[in-house]
Amino acid sequence: MKQLKFMDFCAGIGGGRLGLEKAGCVCMGFSEIMASSIKTYNVLHNTKDEKNFGDLTKINPKELPNFDIMLAGFPCQAFSIIGQRKGFEDERGQIIYHLIKILKHQKVPYFILENVKGLINHDKGKTLITIIKALEDVGYYVGWKPLNSVDYGVPQMRERIYFIGIKKDKINSGKYKWPEQVPLPKIERYLSDDNSSILNINDKGFQKYLSNKYNKNNHDLNKILSEDYLVIDTRQSDLRIYRNKVPTLRTGRHGILYVKSGKIKKLSGFESLLLQGFDKERAKKASEKIVDSKLLSQAGNAMTVNVIELLGKSLIEYIGR
């Protein structure tokens, strides 16, 4: 079977791109508008001279190269439970229609789309139905399923909804099979940045946080410090503890800590990239060139490499039947 080509739309820092490349596909170009994300994308994928098609809403489909798979993590702020959930009233919620325009014009055989799990019940499920119908109306079979990254090769609890699209004239006699879950890896492999900063446990702010009405008498700090790789999530009010997994990485959320050698360390940008499935070589290169706070935010907005790799392999297996 020929090597499949794809376009990376709403690319972010290219977690999805790396996933499809690891599945054996080749990228024909990407589309991203955030300058900071573009800088990190170029560092992670060595794409300084590759064309960025820019603003998706202004792309002329006629100017795009031919490709087999559309990959897009279309903006989720309009549908997220942590956003205002305006959905189609928010202009970011309309991005799906610009993607559909490209699908229709290019007659793209397949697509992989990603969004937040909150899309499933947004507006009592009407938004999801509207999106699926719009995709079906331009000639696609559409399958969708919520998947959690923690079940697919990284120790991060990250639930997202994924869509698989197959042009109706490309449907074969077989059935698309969603990837099977894989064993959870040890978190030690991911919390490995010796240069990550250490939290001062005697800091007045941290001590005040521990003694607030939600946390007081609920946590023994000495016991916490005795367990290496215990993950601590300092949420807005209550502290939560996890073992061998971290909570969802999010843009603007930098309160994830962990214990190592009796000290509480702050999750670094390098480690956040590892938790999204990027390899150590790329993560190290990015951490040397990109400010740590930027990497943390960008990782929180990225696709999980492992999930997209497995979806890509499942799609390739379907095509090859």
In the residue annotation, 76 being an active-site residue is answered as yes
Measured N-to-C along each axis, helices 305-319 and 15-22 cross at an angle, to the nearest 10 degrees, of: 40
Alpha carbon 145 to chain centroid, angstroms: 15
Residue 30, Cβ neighbours under 10 Å: how many?
26
With H, G, I as helix, E, B as strand and everything else as coil, classify residue 146: strand
Q: Count other Cβ atoms within 10 Å, centred on residue 285.
A: 17
Phi, psi of 17 (to 5 degrees): -55, -50
Residue in 10, 25, 27, 76 annotated catalytic = 76
Residues 6+ apart with CB under 8 A from 15: 276, 277, 278, 302, 303, 304, 305, 308
Cβ atoms of residues 63 and 86 within 8 Å: no
In angstroms, the Cα distances linking 214 to 221, 237, 238 are: 15, 7, 5
For CA atoms 290, 296, 298, 304, give the dihedral sign: positive
Q: Which residues are catalytic?
A: 76
